[in-house]
Amino acid sequence: MEISKKMQDAINEQIKEEMASAYIYMSMAAYSESINLPGFGAWMVAQAGEEWEHAMKFYNHILDRGGRVVFQAIPQPPIEFNGPMDVFAKTLEHEQYITDCIHKLYALAVAEKDYAAANLLQWFVNEQVEEEKTAGDILETLKRIGDKGQALYMLDRQLGARGK
């Protein structure tokens, strides 16, 4: 079944959101490196890679269904943060925003009776549960240990293991 124009446009918008997410996480990686937290930086680089993969899932979905991918401008990401706790508070907030975008896209797929898109989006619904949980867990850890000291160094090393 060929993709409808309405669904194609909505997925193209989501491609922009996923690429913007990658850009945001790369900005967070650069910030983390600038404050000597290379593990946080590596975690964010890995997260950016995941977001790029998500954009490509949508990209391929449109192409597989005879549609046209149209890239849109990506806004400049924030570049300054108030420490690692702020980075992860903003990460959680951003993931909650992306969850809302995915839910709206899923609702559109259901309304359009686009079962292929709904099937793809079910994977994203589940993925967003994991994304929010991970960001929330790290934020809670940072709230317990604070933004300084040996525990932060240990968390930095733990997060850096993700990129390896």
Query: What CATH number does residue 144 fall under?
Result: 1.20.1260.10
Q: How far apart are CA 133 and CA 137, in angstroms?
A: 6
Q: Give per-residue pLDDT as tens, 54-110.
A: 999 999 999 999 999 999 999 999 999 999 999 999 999 999 999 999 999 999 999
Structure confidence at residue 162 (pLDDT): 80
Question: Do 92 and 84 contact (CB within 8 A), yes or no?
Answer: no
Question: Do 30 and 94 contact (CB within 8 A), yes or no?
Answer: no
For residue 58, the enclosing domain spans 5-163
Q: How far apart are CA 153 and CA 50, in angstroms?
A: 25
pTM of the model: 0.95
Number of structural domains in the chain: 1
